[in-house]
Amino acid sequence: MGDGMERHLIWVWLSLLIVTWGAAFSSTFGGISQVPPLQWLGSAVFFALIFLLPLFQRNQWFMTMTLSGAAVVTSMVFISESSSYILLIYSYLVGEVLFRLSRQQAIAAGLILMTSFLIATPFTIRFSLLLIVFMAVVAVLAYRHLQQWNEADARYDALLHEYRRLKRKSASDEKLARQEERTQIGREIHDRVGHKLTNLLMQLEVARMEADQESKNRFHMLKDLAKESLNETRQAVKAMNQDEIGGLPAIIRLIRKLEAENYIRIHFLVKNRAFSADLDVEQTVAVYRAVQEALTNVMRHSSEREASVLFESPGGSVFRFEVSNPIVDDYEYREGYGLRSMRERLKKVDGRLDILTYQHKFTIRGTLPVIKKGSDSDASHVTS
C-alpha cells in the first residue's frame, strides 16, 4: 500500500511540474508556440533527468549530479527572463534534494542550485540573496525534521523486528513445550500400557495352550485383538514423537506467518478436495518441507516477492502441489542443493518433482500418490 501511494505521489508531482513548466513557457515567451527550439531541447533534457532519478536511487553521487544538472538546465532555459514560475521549479528541486540526498551530497547540490538560481533569476540580487537565505533556513529545518522522522522509522523497524523475533521465539518455545509434553505422555503410554498389553498377550498365550480346542479359538481371537491394540498403541506413540507438522493446516500457518511479517505476498488456492486427501505422516512432512523450501527460494532469488501456492487432488488418486513465482524472459535456473533435497524427499514417499518455466513463471510441482482405504493391501499407490 505504501509503494502504491508513493507511485501515485510521483505522478502527482510530475503533473504539477509539467503544468508549472508550461505556465513558465507561456509567461516567458508569450505562448507555447513561441518557444525557441533551444528551450524545447533544454526542457526535454530536464524531464529526462527527472525520469532518471529513480534509477540512481542507490547511488547518492549520481543522484546529486542528476539534480544539479536539472538545476543548470533550468537556468539555461529561463536565463535572463522575467518569469516568476522558476521559483516553483527551484522549490521542487530543493524538495528533491532534501528528500533524496544525504547531508554531504545535499550541501553540494544546494550550492549548485543557489548558483544556477542567481544566474537565471529575474529578480534583483538583493531579493534573490534574501530568498536564498530564507530557503536555506527552511531547508535546514526541514532536513532536521526529515532526519528525525527517518530515525523514528528506523527505531520503529528495529522494535518491530525485535517484536517479531520474540514472537517467533515464543511460538518456538511453546511448540517445544508441547513436544516435550507429548513425548512424556508417549513415554508413559509406552511404558505402562504397552507393558501391560505385552503381559496380557503372554497370559493369553499360556491360557490358549492350556485350554481345550473350542476355547483355543476364542483365546486366539482375544490374542489377535490384544496384538492389534499393542500395534496401534505403538503407532500412536510413534506419531506423538513425530515433529509436529500437520500437513495443509501447518502450511497455511506458514503462509500466514510469512505474509504477516511482510516477507512475501502469497496467493493460495485449494481445488478438487485437496484438504480431504488421505496422506500419511511422511507424505505430509514431505509436502510441508517442499513448500517451505520453495517459498524460501522465492524470497531469496526472485526479484518480485510474490508467489502462488496451489493444492489439488484430481480424482482423489493423487495429491498435487504447485509453487510458482513471476520470472523475466531470459531467466535461467540451476538445480542446487535445495531442489535436489526436495526431489529426494518426494521420491522417498513415491512422489515426483517437476520444475517448469513457462508463461513468465517458475513453477515447482510435486505429485504424490494418495492412500486408498478399503483396499486389499494397507495402501495402494496410483501415479498420475
Domain with 363 in it: 248-369
Statement to judge: residues 13 and 73 lie in one domain: yes
Last residue of a domain, one of 203, 220, 241: 241
Whether 137 maps to a domain, the answer reads no
Whether 310 and 359 map to the same domain: the answer is yes
With the C-alpha atoms ordered 295, 245, 285, 278, is the resulting torsion angle positive or negative? negative
Pairwise CA distance, residues 6 & 2, whole Å: 6
Question: How do residues 232-287 score in pLDDT, each as one tens digit?
Answer: 777 666 666 555 445 567 777 777 777 776 667 888 888 877 877 777 778 888 88
Residues 200, 171 within the same domain: yes
Report yes or no on whether pTM surpasses 0.85.
Answer: no
* SS3 assignment, position 245: coil
Domain boundary among 241, 263, 293: 241
Where residue 376 falls among pLDDT bands split at 50, 70, 90?
Answer: very low
**Total structural domains in the chain?**
3
In this prediction, residue 277 carries a pLDDT of 79
Predicted local confidence at residue 382, as pLDDT: 35
The average confidence (pLDDT) of the chain is 76
257 and 227, same structural domain?
A: no
Long-range contacts of 350-357 (CB under 8 A, 24+ apart): 350/381, 350/383, 351/283, 351/286, 352/383, 353/290, 357/327, 357/331, 357/333
pLDDT in tens, 78-112: 775 555 777 788 888 888 888 888 878 888 888 88
Q: Judge if 320 and 360 occupy the same domain.
A: yes
Q: DSSP strand E in 180-221: where?
A: none
Note whether 292 and 250 are within 8 A (CB).
no
Q: Could you tell me if residue 268 is inside a domain?
A: yes
Is residue 144 a part of any domain in this protein? no
Evaluate if residue 365 carries a pLDDT over 90.
yes
> Is 67 within the bounds of a domain?
yes
Indicate whether 227 and 258 sit together in one domain: no
Identify whether 107 is part of a domain.
yes
Same domain (yes/no): 232, 257: no
Of 68, 103, 122, which one is at a domain's C-terminal end? Answer: 122
